[in-house]
């Protein structure tokens, strides 16, 4: 099969500084009947044209500056080809995946299915649960593949490897972080 | 004299008058939250009661898209809402709450899907989220970048916090270090916001770099044309640069702009908290100002600003010196090793990879961005 994301790191985010809550801990493989939600990023068309349009509508020197597109116009530009849509939907249906919905731009398909189906659909994937405090998330620590014939129709599948994002930002305890970083404490002083 | 950053301190520093508040009806702004980060309307009301007496403002978020849990308010969610509504005062505000309700959902992608599915959206979105570029697949980053292009084509302005780890640091195979860029801050189709501190922390003075301010050069996305001249000038004229092996000098350089990011007051769970810091504080501050400039543009029948960078680099590089306060002092963090000794890049005249072009002088920026 084809691995769309061979370079995607599988790594639960490192635990935050010691005074905070612990990081994600593995709590075992999920029941095969457990429901998972996967998002399929379908290959779009018109990326080059889209880049040209963005340049034109965002550059104050361009005569098209500020002439933005509607969502429907964006859809007409980027929506996947009928072949892509058919190939992906046929593949999903072939595995009994029927509970799916798309978005206006038709370039994402979101589907619900049991973990066992997802593991058959994406050979290599294995769904495990990770917990952090009250939060629980299901991810695959192993890389997934898709059939070769889908390589040109699918960018990636979401819901397997990347953990919920860590906030890049505010802290009211920078003084403690500073101790470890060798920087002078601020704020509290 | 002041005991920390509040809306009135920000508005004073960035020269926003009592009249600099939203007036048009069809304008709006938004911030996105992930995980179980919720804000409380009561915290916002209390914040505005404590700190908002000098300007017309709203004390309610108008729309929450997604699920708002009933638990305790999160510091970050409170910060975003309170400060986007302080500079973008009196502008209708939305919160996108993407908690990843389903265990296998990726909350950030869920937010992107919402953008791709809603025909009517606020013109300005601020996000304080990021991952190390090297932890993400190329397929994922390229596709997310394309989603930002879709947003840009629709006229949306998307602002990302540049991160709080300076240039970052990564040990590469072989044991050497390199800087560690962050994504989506490194996407060429978003506006990335760095951080500054007051030179004198207790006075409204000039700003210096906040040493945590994220910045650097992407290892994935090539440098876009709109910033080539500005970044080239920095690379040629910086008195001291880290060794070339630490960064990709031909990559997308960030941040684009900055604002104060240190010692904020935030009300969360009804308690006013001091000393809140990070580029997730500076990002909604800039977002609110962009929304306010949109307000004036919409009021004159002009389109909103959309993807800001081409206009920003053009105006800042083209001699609109009163639009931006150039931040020229201080350096940010990086690898603690014998070569760079914890120092990443340093700020200098014009654009630099710590504070971008600098911080906004609102009236000058408004004038420059209202011009046809």
SS3 of residue B10 by DSSP: helix
- DSSP class of residue A21 equals -
Query: Is A137 in contact with B277 (Cβ distance < 8 A)?
Result: no
Mutate to test the interface with A, among B98, B122, B137, B160 (most CBs of A within 10 A): B137
Residue B193 near residue B87, CB atoms below 8 Å: no
Alpha carbon separation from A172 to A187, B192, B266, B293 (Å, rounded): 9, 22, 10, 30
DSSP code string of A93-157: HHTT---EEE-TTS-EEEEEEEHHHHHHHSTT---EEEEETTEEEEE-SS---B-GGGTTTEEEE
Chain A residues inside the 8 Å CB shell of B119: 70-72, 104
Query: Is B34 in contact with A58 (Cβ distance < 8 A)?
Result: no
Percent of chain A with pLDDT over 90: 72
CA B103 to chain centre: 29
Chain B residues inside the 8 Å CB shell of A158: 106, 109
Partners of B196 in the β-ladder: B209, B260
SS3 of residue B38 by DSSP: coil
In sequence order, which residues have a C-beta less than 8 Å from that of residue B21 and are 6 or more positions away?
B55, B56, B57, B89, B90, B91, B292
Mean confidence (pLDDT) of chain B: 95
Chain A residues inside the 8 Å CB shell of B107: 164-165
Chain A, chain B: beta-carbon pairs less than 8 Å apart: 224
Tokens of A148: 């070769």
Active site residue B280: yes
Percent of chain A with pLDDT over 70: 82
Q: What is the mean pLDDT of residues A83-95?
A: 97
Tokens of B103: 């265990």
The confidence score (pLDDT) of residue A182 equals: 34
Split at pLDDT 50, 70, 90, the class of A166 is low
Active site residue B86: no
> How far B369 CA lies from chain A's nearest CA (Å)?
9
The confidence score (pLDDT) of residue B99 equals: 72
Beta-carbon count within 10 A of A22 CB:
11
- DSSP class of residue B12 equals H
The confidence score (pLDDT) of residue A186 equals: 42
Let me know how long chain A is.
Answer: 189
Task: Tell me the H-state helices in B224-349.
Answer: 225-237, 279-299, 309-317
Question: Residues 75-114, chain A: which have Cβ within 8 Å of B?
Answer: 77-78, 103-105, 107-108, 110
Check if A158 contacts B (Cβ < 8 Å): yes
Q: What is the mean pLDDT of residues B56-82?
A: 91
- pLDDT reading at A21 higher than 60: no
Q: Compute the distance between CA of residue A104 and CA of residue A89 in angstroms, rounded to an integer.
A: 16
Q: What is the mean pLDDT of residues A99-103?
A: 96
Chain A residues inside the 8 Å CB shell of B304: 66
Q: What is the mean pLDDT of residues B161-185?
A: 95
Query: Is A167 in contact with B333 (Cβ distance < 8 A)?
Result: no
The confidence score (pLDDT) of residue A168 equals: 52
pLDDT in tens, B91-137: 999 999 987 668 888 999 999 999 999 999 999 999 998 899 999 99
SS3 of residue B4 by DSSP: coil
- pLDDT reading at A66 higher than 60: yes
The confidence score (pLDDT) of residue A183 equals: 39
The confidence score (pLDDT) of residue A171 equals: 59
- pLDDT reading at B361 higher than 90: yes
Q: Which of B186, B184, B116 lies closest to B156, judged by CA? A: B116
The confidence score (pLDDT) of residue A20 equals: 54
The confidence score (pLDDT) of residue A96 equals: 97
The confidence score (pLDDT) of residue B369 equals: 95
The confidence score (pLDDT) of residue A175 equals: 41
Alpha carbon separation from A81 to A42, A65, A105, B271 (Å, rounded): 9, 29, 12, 53
Strands (E) in chain B, as ranges, are: 28-34, 63-66, 92-98, 124-127, 131-132, 157-161, 170-171, 177-178, 182-183, 191-198, 207-209, 216-222, 251-254, 257-260, 264-268, 271-276, 324-325, 331-333, 343-346, 359-360
Q: Which of A111-115, A181-185, B142-146, B255-259 has the lowest mean pLDDT?
A: A181-185
> How far B53 CA lies from chain A's nearest CA (Å)?
25
Q: Which of B127, B53, B68, B65 lies closest to B92, judged by CA? A: B65
Tokens of B121: 């959206």
Tokens of B111: 């937010």
Mutate to test the interface with B, among A48, A57, A167 (most CBs of B within 10 A): A167
The confidence score (pLDDT) of residue A185 equals: 37
Check if A4 contacts B (Cβ < 8 Å): yes
- pLDDT reading at B198 higher than 80: yes
Q: Compute the distance between CA of residue B114 and CA of residue B26 in angstroms, rounded to an integer.
A: 20
In sequence order, which residues have a C-beta less than 8 Å from that of residue A51 and are 6 or more positions away?
B149
Split at pLDDT 50, 70, 90, the class of B321 is confident
Active site residue B46: no
Q: Please tell me which residue in B80, B147, B207, B256 is annotated as part of the active site.
A: B80
Closest Cβ–Cβ partner in B140, B161, B310 for A8: B140
Split at pLDDT 50, 70, 90, the class of B325 is very high
> How far B129 CA lies from chain A's nearest CA (Å)?
5
The confidence score (pLDDT) of residue A144 equals: 97
Q: What is the mean pLDDT of residues A80-85?
A: 98
Tokens of B286: 């800039």
Check if A139 contacts B (Cβ < 8 Å): yes
Residue with tokens 């060429």, as numbered in its chain: B188
Chain B residues inside the 8 Å CB shell of A170: 75-76, 79, 128, 264, 266, 276-278, 280-281
- pLDDT reading at A17 higher than 60: no
Q: Which of B89, B53, B184 lies closest to B127, judged by CA? A: B184
What is the bridge-based pairing of β-strands B28-34 and B124-127? parallel
Tokens of A43: 């290959």
The confidence score (pLDDT) of residue B70 equals: 75
């Amino acid at each position: 099969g084809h691995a769309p994301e061979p370079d995607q790191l599988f790594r639960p985010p490192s635990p935050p500084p010691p005074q905070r809550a612990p990081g994600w801990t593995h709590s075992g493989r999920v029941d095969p009947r457990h429901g998972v939600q996967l998002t399929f990023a379908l290959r779009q068309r018109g990326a080059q044209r889209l880049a040209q349009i963005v340049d034109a509508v965002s550059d104050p020197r361009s005569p098209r500056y500020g002439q933005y597109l509607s969502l429907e116009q964006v859809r007409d530009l980027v929506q996947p080809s009928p072949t892509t849509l058919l190939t992906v939907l046929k593949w999903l249906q072939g595995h009994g995946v029927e509970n799916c919905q798309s978005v206006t731009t038709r370039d994402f398909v979101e589907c619900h299915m049991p973990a066992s189906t997802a593991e058959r659909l994406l050979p290599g994937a294995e769904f495990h649960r990770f917990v952090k405090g009250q939060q629980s998330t299901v991810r695959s620590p192993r890389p997934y593949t898709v059939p070769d014939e889908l390589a040109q129709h699918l960018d990636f599948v979401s819901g397997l490897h990347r953990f919920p994002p860590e906030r890049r930002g505010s802290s009211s305890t920078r003084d403690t972080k500073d101790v470890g970083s060798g920087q002078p404490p601020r704020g509290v002083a | 004299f002041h005991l920390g950053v509040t809306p009135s301190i920000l508005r004073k520093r960035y020269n926003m008058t009592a009249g600099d508040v939203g007036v048009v009806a069809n304008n709006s702004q938004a911030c996105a939250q992930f995980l179980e980060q919720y804000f409380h309307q009561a915290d916002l009301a209390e914040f505005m009661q404590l700190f908002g007496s000098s300007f017309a403002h709203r004390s309610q978020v108008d729309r929450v898209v997604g699920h708002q849990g009933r638990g305790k308010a999160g510091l970050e969610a409170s910060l975003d809402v309170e400060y986007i509504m302080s500079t973008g005062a009196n502008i209708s505000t939305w919160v996108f709450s993407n908690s990843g309700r389903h265990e296998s959902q990726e909350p950030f992608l869920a937010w992107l899907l919402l953008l791709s599915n809603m025909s009517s959206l606020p013109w300005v979105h601020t996000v304080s989220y990021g991952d190390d570029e090297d932890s993400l697949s190329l397929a994922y980053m390229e596709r997310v970048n394309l989603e930002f292009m879709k947003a840009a084509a629709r006229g949306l302005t998307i602002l990302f916090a540049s991160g709080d780890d300076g240039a970052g640091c990564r040990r590469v195979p072989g044991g050497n270090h390199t800087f560690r860029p962050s994504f989506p801050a490194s996407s060429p189709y978003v506006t990335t916001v760095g951080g500054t501190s007051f030179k004198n922390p207790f006075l409204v003075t000039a700003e210096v770099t906040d040493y945590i301010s994220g910045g650097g050069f992407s290892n994935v996305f090539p440098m876009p044309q709109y910033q080539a001249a500005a970044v080239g000038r920095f690379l040629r004229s910086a008195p001291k640069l880290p060794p070339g092996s630490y960064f990709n000098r031909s990559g997308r350089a960030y941040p684009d702009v900055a604002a104060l990011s240190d010692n904020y007051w935030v009300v969360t769970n009804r308690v006013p908290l001091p000393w809140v810091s990070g580029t997730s504080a500076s990002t909604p501050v800039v977002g609110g100002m962009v929304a306010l400039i949109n307000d004036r543009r919409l009021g004159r029948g002009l389109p909103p600003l959309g993807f800001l960078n081409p206009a920003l680099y053009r105006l800042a590089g083209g001699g609109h010196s009163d639009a931006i306060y150039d931040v020229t002092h201080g350096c940010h963090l990086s690898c603690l090793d014998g070569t760079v000794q914890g120092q990443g890049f340093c700020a200098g005249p014009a654009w630099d990879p710590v504070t971008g072009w600098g911080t906004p002088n609102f009236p000058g920026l408004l004038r420059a961005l209202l011009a046809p």
